[in-house]
Amino acid sequence: MKATEKLLERFSKCRVLVIGDLMLDEYRRGHVERISPEAPVPILNVVGRDATLGGAGNVVKNLRSLNVGVMVVGVLGMDETGDQILKGLGALGINGSGLVRDPQRVSTRKVRYVSMEHGQQVFRADEETAEEVNGEVEENIVRQLRERVSGVQVILCSDYLKGVLTAKVLKAAFEAGREKKVTVIVAPKDGVARKYHGASILIPNLRELSRLVGTSVDGDVWLADSARTLTRNLELEALLVTRGSAGMTLFEAEESGLRRVDIPTMARNVYDVTGAGDTALSTFAAGIAAGASRESAAHLANVAAGVVVGKHGTAIVTPEEILGHLGESEFAPQWTPDLTKSMRSVSGE
């Protein structure tokens, strides 16, 4: 536990640059009491609403909850949703100087209508522009990225296919990572694998991995073969596959071949898996930024995801919750965090 505490304490000295698709998740909650006379649909009498950062914004929230310093690069429309996203970032102590405002773009807003009686969505309404950025807007994003890479330990690309992470933007991120010797981690949503050539580490779930290799999910042999193919073709340093109730599997490229580490889930109770992937991604990135080995960072991410799925709704995790989860004997970790970087290199002193 002492080694874990030391690793978590180092988070406050780290900085991560997040590039990706920012969204606003809005929830309108109410009561369903009757069916509409106009169509066979329920009428939701809305009695409350709230909104929070979603997409790459949820990654940012998780990093800040872990006490990691964050800079953000992305694009927003010149609209109310964009203003709310900026306000949400400001509440986390993050300025919006790295965000490009595009008056031709509609900021992504997902409105979920929820029945309070059943705790379920009645339906969802999306407002957004999902086309890829181009021209001057794309150039501005690349410029913002390059201006902010100095002083960070990790570049984290959070892709939700809403248009920010174009091939050109990703290429700029990978080049900046190599130039500054910074790890570039990508959460891939696109099925075009070559788009991610040049990343240091990819973190897909099984469905995303299936799209990247072009074959259906089909057991353990498929997983190993897919990881080998993707790691070789994209020249990755590592691949971390999140596998839901089966936990995670880390594949690391070594001279002797592909090293595999299976990490079973540490979830005690599963109430809601919403946002668990963002939590795992954020915690892994924080661990790498703090100088942990990839295996140690993956173990820590697995613990964090286990905490979050025990909460209702999109949730975040704190260092105290991680330590509390580890403190229960039946979930005691079989690993000790390996800090591969000195405190001096992480703090930038």
Catalytic residues: 278
In the three-class reduction of DSSP (H, G, I as helix; E, B as strand; rest coil), residue 152 is classed as coil
293 three-state secondary structure: coil
Chain centroid to CA 92: 17
Q: Is 185 in a helix, a strand, or coil?
A: strand
Secondary structure of residue 206 in the 3-state scheme: helix
Dihedral of the alpha carbons of 238, 284, 8, 182, in degrees to the nearest 10:
60
Beta-carbon count within 10 A of 92 CB: 15
Residue with tokens 């994003």: 141
- List the 42-55 sheet strands across, edge first: 42-55, 22-35, 108-115, 120-127
Adjacency order of strands within the sheet including 201-202? 99-102, 69-77, 15-20, 154-158, 183-187, 201-202, 238-242, 248-254, 257-263
Collapsing DSSP states into helix, strand and coil, what is residue 32?
strand
- Report residue 82 as tokens: 């964009």
Buried b (16+ CB within 10 A) or exposed e, 248-268: bbbbbbeeeeeeebebebbbe
Strands 201-202 and 42-55: unpaired
